[in-house]
Amino acid sequence: MNDQPTAPLIQPSRHPNRRDLMNIAAAGAVMTTTASSFFTATAALANEKPSSGDISVKGKTQMQKRKLGTLEVSELGLGCMNMTGNYNPPADKQQSIKTIRTAVENGVTFFDTAEVYGPYIDEELVGEALQPFRDQVKIATKFGFAIDGTVALDSRPERIRRVVDESLKRLRTDRIDLYYQHRVDPNVPIEEVADAIKDLITQGKVLHFGLSEASVKTIRRAHAVLPVSAVQSELSLWTRNVELNGVLKTCEDLGIGFVPWSPVGAGFLTGKYDTTTVFDKKTDFRAGFPKFSKAYLPLNMPIIEWLKDYAQKRGATPSQIALAWLLAKSPNIVPIPGTRRESHLLENLGAWKINLSQTDVQEIETSLSRFPVYGDRMGETHMSSIDYTV
């Protein structure tokens, strides 16, 4: 990436090349290294600043329900990836378990993990934390990364049949409520993947089928074989690709739920980071994300400055407005903000108290349209596995 910005880069599309695939394998090795320190590590959240605003959750919330296809979940879920690293060093295990259980106590019934997070240990964490509440909650996990350092993606049916049993064991359960293909494997027709999941549904091991970062064409092909309950992709106030490439509209047309990951912009929309923030290249993926680079982060600051001002006027925090905006956009959207801290969890859950009208939504979008988004949403390693089929 050139250190000198020349023009706004708003999520350009590109196809993976050999170098990208090698980078994904390298990323898997980094995850494995991270996993080894999980159970003894403690949270190290340097560079974070306190949030402003006064809306928080004290005790149980009045969380509403939403549908992902036919799967009923709480309107806000909890993304558990960051508890085992990726955006920071791994959190303390007991701290993470307490955060997950606090989410349950406050009405959250939808929890997101994946075999590649850690790898493996995030599923173990979620399984342990939710075991006492298993019949009260819905667990989503994912397959599709090889996790062996030699192949970037692997959604072969024989592998799916093997890894689902491994995930079930780690999650301490007899069924997975929502099983996502983590990334579309260009070497395996999506119809074969859908057929494999259909078999698992027949066996009772999986209840619902999902796709992550899939294109419109892939979604339609999969849905023709087996109803897709949910599509997971990045969506936030500064990452709105799915509104432009037809994915969000396709989900609405087909009755598929949409699950935004990184709904508060990988922390950017919380207002806790500024141009002095330094992300650790060894433990934090954001160190390689163009949006967070020294070249582009200063150019993106007007977005968060406007959001802070708007949130203050509404008596809320920036992250709460970012989440409330998503909730107001469509009843089939279920954000899964991720955190390892109870305080951040409760702050996020406060978004249910903010009722944004369609006029409010339009005001937010019109105001933010004045500020170009500089830099791609992820680095080459991560972008190389995105499905660009049209």
Residues classed as catalytic: 117
Residue whose token pair is 């949409």? 258
119: cis peptide before it, omega within 30°? yes
Quick one: tokens of 139? 């667990």
CA-CA distance, 361 to 326, in Å (whole number)? Answer: 9
Contact by Cβ (8 Å): 117, 90: no
Q: How crowded is the C-beta side of 197, counted as CA atoms within 13 Å?
A: 28
383 Cβ contact list (under 8 Å, min separation 6) = 14, 16, 20, 376, 377
Beta bridge partners of 138: 110
Residues 6+ apart with CB under 8 A from 112: 77, 78, 79, 80, 81, 140, 141, 232, 259, 261, 336, 338
Which of 298, 290, 354, 346 has its CA nearest to residue 322? 354
Distance of CA 31 to the CA centre of its chain: 17
Of 125, 143, 88, the closest CA to residue 344 belongs to 88
Taking only Cα atoms into account, the Rg of the chain, rounded to an integer number of angstroms, comes to 19
Kind plus residue range of the DSSP H or E element containing 140: strand 138-143
Lookup: tokens for 239: 């990452």
The rounded distance, in Å, linking the Cα atoms of 369 and 237 is 10
At 384, is the secondary structure helix, strand, or coil? coil
Question: What residues does 14 pair with on adjacent strands?
Answer: none
Q: Where is 200: in which H helix or E strand?
A: helix 190-203
